[in-house]
Chain A
């Protein structure tokens, strides 16, 4: 892609019906800025209100406690940018933990073989969903709903009980701490999730694949007419999401070494919420990987804030606050979009 193409592409990557190109782009940055600002404000509120909140440890814990949300949300962002949705993430993650648990603990297979295998299984489920969405024009909502039932059902059929992973590898990984500054540390999960984020940012913003993803979300018909590989990209996007879900399942096992068919129940909704709070439009066509990262950080901060409150706040407020945040962000998106259009017209 040479530089000449970029203005045209920024038109496509703008939202549906947007003919505003340049100015719209700025407004999208504004939304990302709003997400980051909200995170800083929330973290600030916590730091002022609670002793010991403002520390690297609390900040790193946001990553250490939610690696699966980060990774699944990154995969979901790709899907949502194309205008789709993936409801299967939580179940695929659970299936991953169950397959690993059974193969490693009961059949004694080495994790070195099992982990690549489960990642392959997750990717294949995503691949199949992608094929159904692209070739057979089944709505993503229904196709991934089927994937969700399938993965959860297989996980339950393998075993309805939880399997504890006593394998030395999982114990070693989950106990391994990488010291950073002072007594703050990160885990292997954080390294995995940060590499996923970096790869995703490169994929989304610096490759032909990424541009096609945005183009499909902007207007699939135009993308086809432009000769972009729409089908291949769409299938690949669901495959990536399946891979990310499986990887999220792997990080779950690194976080707490067990396989459980009921891991990640309802996780897809948290993930979608994080992506939306991160400023990605569900209509597709716009959004940033970095925004998603901050979206998950915001959800994590809310949970941490409520934890710091101790017993004084009903934990059910977490859900209500999350919902309010989604509402606020969607309304902001709409306001920004309208303003962007007005400026573009004048």
Chain B
């Protein structure tokens, strides 16, 4: 009897694992769990969430808040990668979006009738909309080069990546623009109902994206473009337009991140805003299980990938024995380990043969 029960439980566990594995979230979730577990062992109060001044605070909230940049970029990047493309210009678009919003808002402290008031150069909604529109337009420029001119994604976005920081510097005239307009700081640094506002932004974007993926055929279209562009066109789907809008959306996400970065830093630095963010975003997508070869994609995987990268950084900074310089090395090791585990040929070579035989005998 006991053996039977055990087998039953084993079967259930195996069923759970295979379901998780089918949804593509198994490995990312395990990795995130491992990192959080390591944290919990080192720092027993890691999972504690307190309410301070009406705001939730704790390591988990901190990780979620800080990961909002990578997660947003990774959501946009997932669609791009799903169409077998890549967008290495997002970092530059972040810089441009930050530069535009900082340039348009600027802001000065004016004393009117004895009352201190913050006055922006342009109304804040105008600045936000302008930054988002231009970021989307830059994404569309990428999309046009790729879908209409037939440029390779990496080259088309490389062009914007190289030019983008130059453009951002021209907008800020090589200076770091500081913002003195308080309401703008709410976007990147504010709290709503005790939770950082940036988390709401991420949740909103994620909700829209998940709705489009689950409730419309768009996800399927994007996936089929990634698997075979020509066949998709023959099936009556406008591949070119899908590619165009996928890059536009990636630009839009980068635009939001630009606003967040600018608002959080209270300044725009054309040189350093969004620096190397494209690499982290691509990494998050790959860690989340989406193949750079295109096709099947996992939005939630990318979100978890972004969380993995951020919690890794937080972990390394919180362990005093590890020098912060080690961050890159640990990141590299994680990249290799996760990629190797996800690589089918590696699994087959190392352990796959044994597991496959066991499965067959069952």
Which A residues contact B (CB, under 8 angstroms)?
85, 132, 135-139, 141-143, 145-150, 152-154, 156-157, 160, 269, 272-273, 276, 282-283, 314, 316-320, 322-324, 326-327, 330-331, 334
Which among B152, B154, B286 is the interface contact of A142 at CB below 8 angstroms?
B286
Taking the complex as formed, is B282 at the interface, i.e. its CB lies under 8 A from any CB of chain A?
Answer: yes
CB-based contact B161/A269 at 8 Å = yes
CB-based contact B166/A318 at 8 Å = yes
Please report the C-alpha to C-alpha distance between residue A319 and residue B167 in the assembled complex, in whole angstroms. 9
Contacts A138-B343, A141-B282, A157-B326 hold; do A146 and B335 have CB atoms under 8 A apart?
yes
Please report the C-alpha to C-alpha distance between residue A160 and residue B331 in the assembled complex, in whole angstroms. 18
Which among B158, B293, B327 is the interface contact of A326 at CB below 8 angstroms?
B158
Q: Which chain B residue has the least Cβ–Cβ distance from A135?
A: B345
- Count of chain B residues with a beta carbon within 8 Å of a chain A beta carbon: 47
CB-based contact B160/A323 at 8 Å = yes
Taking the complex as formed, is B48 at the interface, i.e. its CB lies under 8 A from any CB of chain A?
Answer: no
CB-based contact B166/A316 at 8 Å = yes
| Interface secondary structure of A, over-half rule | helix
Contacts A323-B159, A334-B150 hold; do A146 and B170 have CB atoms under 8 A apart?
no
CB-based contact A153/B151 at 8 Å = no
User: Which residue, of B158, B283, B291, has the highest number of chain A Cβ atoms within 10 A?
Assistant: B158
Contacts A153-B329, A157-B329, A320-B167 hold; do A273 and B154 have CB atoms under 8 A apart?
no
Taking the complex as formed, is B32 at the interface, i.e. its CB lies under 8 A from any CB of chain A?
Answer: no
Taking the complex as formed, is B340 at the interface, i.e. its CB lies under 8 A from any CB of chain A?
Answer: yes
Which among B156, B162, B174, B349 is the interface contact of A269 at CB below 8 angstroms?
B162
Taking the complex as formed, is B165 at the interface, i.e. its CB lies under 8 A from any CB of chain A?
Answer: yes
Q: Give every chain A residue within 8 A of B282 (Cβ-Cβ).
A: 141-142, 145
CB-based contact B155/A137 at 8 Å = no
CB-based contact B332/A324 at 8 Å = no
Contacts A145-B335, A146-B339 hold; do A334 and B151 have CB atoms under 8 A apart?
yes
Which among A141, A149, A160, A273 is the interface contact of B86 at CB below 8 angstroms?
A141
Q: Which chain A residue has the least Cβ–Cβ distance from B270?
A: A316
Please report the C-alpha to C-alpha distance between residue A319 and residue B279 in the assembled complex, in whole angstroms. 20
Contacts A153-B325, A323-B162 hold; do A330 and B344 have CB atoms under 8 A apart?
no
The contact string, 1 if C-beta is below 8 Å from chain A, for chain B 136-169, is: 0000000001000111101110111111011101
Which among B165, B292, B330, B346 is the interface contact of A141 at CB below 8 angstroms?
B292
Q: Which chain B residue has the least Cβ–Cβ distance from A334?
A: B150
Taking the complex as formed, is B336 at the interface, i.e. its CB lies under 8 A from any CB of chain A?
Answer: yes
Taking the complex as formed, is B22 at the interface, i.e. its CB lies under 8 A from any CB of chain A?
Answer: no
CB-based contact A136/B343 at 8 Å = yes
Which among B325, B327, B343 is the interface contact of A160 at CB below 8 angstroms?
B325
Taking the complex as formed, is B359 at the interface, i.e. its CB lies under 8 A from any CB of chain A?
Answer: no
Report the minimum CB–CB distance from A319 to chain B (whole Å).
4
CB-based contact A157/B343 at 8 Å = no
CB-based contact A150/B328 at 8 Å = yes
- Show 15 A/B contacts (Cβ-Cβ < 8 Å), sorted by A: A135-B349, A137-B344, A139-B286, A150-B328, A150-B333, A152-B328, A153-B328, A156-B325, A276-B158, A316-B166, A316-B170, A318-B166, A322-B162, A323-B159, A323-B160
User: Which residue, of A146, A148, A334, has the highest number of chain B Cβ atoms within 10 A?
Assistant: A146
